[in-house]
Chain A
């Protein structure tokens, strides 16, 4: 879609509307073995997947809530007993509609307002859309399919590509034992995307998926598994949103990325969950020799986010780049950062983190760079910049660096500052009003992120920021 189209849309309406709930199937609130069995049965899953779910449930029940991190968001309100883990929308097109036109009007309407299918109509490579717990629409250009590229919803992949899924699903990359919410995810996961790119294949257009939570008091647990074989290249984009409800929602997704030798994967997210959502995600990539992983994340919504995309640089010469931006407004606590494990020689990583806080919002950068003994000639460079609008807001930077190898080059830098009065004055003297001047400064501040995104996502990110800043500047 062009930026003109976006301009015509009422931004507020695009992100704050909600639909009447109409679900065909809903599990009971709370989490029991029975719930897990019901989900698995409803999805017609093989026995091994049910076993994995049950094992994850056991781990979830044994693990304590994370409470011991300095300055972490308060999770006391997160009561799994109150969450509906699985809702299937009431549509005929379970497992994904063939074409956009086949979707029921209210779902089409929802995604229309978000502007996402517009991108599809303009012949981008692929879009998958998840509504509640199930993928309702998915499409992939034929020319990629001919090359053996697979892009389908995760539930379907369990049935149609069991070998690939069985080998990679929550085994080496994100085991359920990683943290309490990864375990929860392993037990009740539903929907999400499966992407497979065979050797020597480049998918030139970004593959896109959109997730939306529409019901009150529900949890969303989509799983994304990306496998890029040697010399493959792919860019995956995911967008998330949920309207505002009184009760809390829980989003606990899982993302696993396998980057083969000399392969290149970019994973971009713009997250705009409603401000009652707890966003507790686990994302991780394993990178083989000379492969490259790139994470581009924008975290705008949610009440509390705890998300630290992690990369394990497993093969020599592997590279990781993180670009993250967090925006926290009234009542929000965005605790995000990056983790990189340098486990092989000649590996390199960069982390560029930007945060903006205003109206009492709180942003944390929490990061870990680990350089293992033997990872010689590794390089890492971490840069964090925080921009603060007012005195009610908080911004913390908590990097950890664990260095077990001497032949390394490790650097961390962080700065915090207020929006520059001089910059605002300069722009005002050029005829901009105060709000526009500040918005322009913010746009400049986050430019390193937006320039990594395809234009429509960059525009969306800017729109979200405009929306966040509307009327709140003085």
Chain B
């Protein structure tokens, strides 16, 4: 299984990528190790019940869609004052030691097959360094993918008592009329009392396969918040994760998705409570139309030493079509009794009474449904603390409704 892409990947390709970025030896070694590890690594785990994997990652024809040396893209980086927002080659020359220290410290470069593939082949990406005490405005990164495949690696280092908001958008440029593969790894290291908000809006073409891992470590009093909007792609497999390592750290994971046609979203939100007095809130809402399918897993894991934990999770799916399918599995794993935790999940259709009320007031049925769908997203939109991202997401929702 795991050798299918390995067959046409070579050390030479990896060395070429590394040379182009003017990398130090350690990073080349990390890449080559990841490449070598592909042989033994498994695909990322998907939700499974006995006899059934809910997302089939092996079905991807990696050999055909991964082209390691084709990496054409447009990247806009809008810096914020006091923050270094750097391409990889810039970052390696300016913050070499820091990167060597932090790279792979949050996301294990070999955590699974697709992550190791990203580690070996990434050529695009950004390093964001927020020095101690800096209170930054919004950093914006827009990636427009033109190539067959693109491997993006983002590292965020927020030093003590700093704060930053990062907005990332992924779109596809030239329509290749063919399958594409986008892979994004994001590591966030939030030091004591740092506050990092990371918003991502994925609107890739609907022939694109998308794999992403976003993971943050929160030190004492630190906050790592995630906003995850998924609109595009043919298949998305994404996991947004926070380890609440320090006492009194916090995380909020807000997710929104809207699937139509034959889109498949496999979404995970995970939080590990490790320190004391930690707080987490996971909120996800999604709409499915046509034959779209969503698989959601949310995990709240409370460790043995996580005293006085508060952990909440809500997931709601709205189904607009009979051909759509939704799977939800919110999980609680509790090893400390001094915990207040809850989760809830619902799946339902547009409320018939609401629809009747609106149509009886003279609103056409299509318009009424659209309004109810927009209304369904409101509780999630309210959780999105970044105006620009909220407005963009809202726009994409409205756009999709009009199609």
Contacts and interface: CB of A to CB of B under 8 A. Distances in A.
Interface of A: 66, 68-69, 71, 179, 368, 373, 376, 386, 388-391, 393-418
Contact of A396 (B50, B334, B345, B348): B334
B331 A398 contact: yes
A406 B319 contact: yes
Nearest to A66: B50
B347 A408 contact: yes
A400 B330 CA distance: 8
A409 B348 contact: yes
Nearest to B345: A412
A234 B325 CA distance: 37
A106 B373 CA distance: 69
Interface string B328-343: 1111111111111111
A393 B346 CA distance: 29
Most buried by B among A391, A406, A412, A417: A406
Contacts of B319: 403, 405-406, 408
Contact of B49 (A390, A400, A408, A412): A400
Contact of A368 (B49, B317, B326, B331): B49
Given A389-B337, A400-B49, A416-B342, A407 B332 contact: no
Given A414-B342, A418-B337, 4 more contacts: A393-B335, A400-B327, A412-B328, A417-B341
B344 A413 contact: yes
A405 B322 contact: yes
B37 interface: no
Given A68-B48, A413-B342, A416-B341, A396 B327 contact: no
A401 B334 contact: no
A398 B49 CA distance: 11
17 contacts: A71-B333, A368-B49, A386-B332, A389-B337, A397-B343, A398-B329, A398-B331, A399-B329, A403-B328, A405-B322, A407-B349, A408-B319, A410-B346, A413-B343, A416-B334, A416-B341, A417-B341
Interface string B343-371: 11111110000000000000000000000
Contacts of B329: 398-401
A400 B324 CA distance: 17
B321 interface: yes
B276 to A, nearest CB: 12
Interface in B294-310: 304
B337 A391 contact: yes
Interface of B: 47-50, 304, 317, 319-349
B50 A390 contact: no
B268 to A, nearest CB: 13
Nearest to B324: A406
A400 B317 CA distance: 14
B339 A417 contact: yes
B326 A403 contact: yes
Given A412-B345, A415-B341, A417-B340, A395 B327 contact: no
Nearest to A405: B322
Given A390-B337, A391-B304, A400-B47, A414 B330 contact: yes
Given A69-B50, A388-B337, A391-B337, A416 B332 contact: yes
Contact of A393 (B322, B331, B333, B337): B337
Contact of A412 (B327, B335, B336, B346): B346
A399 B337 contact: no
The list of the 5 closest CB pairs from A to B, nearest first, reads: A388-B337, A406-B319, A410-B347, A397-B332, A418-B337
A406 B332 contact: no
A163 to B, nearest CB: 33
Contacts of A388: 334, 337, 339
B327 A403 contact: yes
Contacts of B335: 391, 393-394
A386 B347 contact: no
A391 B336 contact: yes
Contacts of A69: 50
A390 B321 CA distance: 46
A117 to B, nearest CB: 40
A373 B332 CA distance: 28
Contacts of B325: 402-404
B251 to A, nearest CB: 18
B322 A373 contact: yes
A415 B50 contact: no
Contacts of A410: 345-348
Most buried by B among A66, A69, A409, A410: A410
A308 to B, nearest CB: 11
Contacts of A393: 335, 337
Contact of B349 (A389, A406, A413): A406
A388 B332 CA distance: 13
B327 A401 contact: yes
A76 B320 CA distance: 46
A391 B349 contact: no
B345 to A, nearest CB: 5
Contacts of B50: 66, 68-69, 179
B334 A394 contact: yes
Contacts of B49: 368, 400
A443 B330 CA distance: 28
Contact of A418 (B48, B339, B348): B339
B360 to A, nearest CB: 20
Contacts of B47: 400
Contacts of B331: 396-399
A215 to B, nearest CB: 32
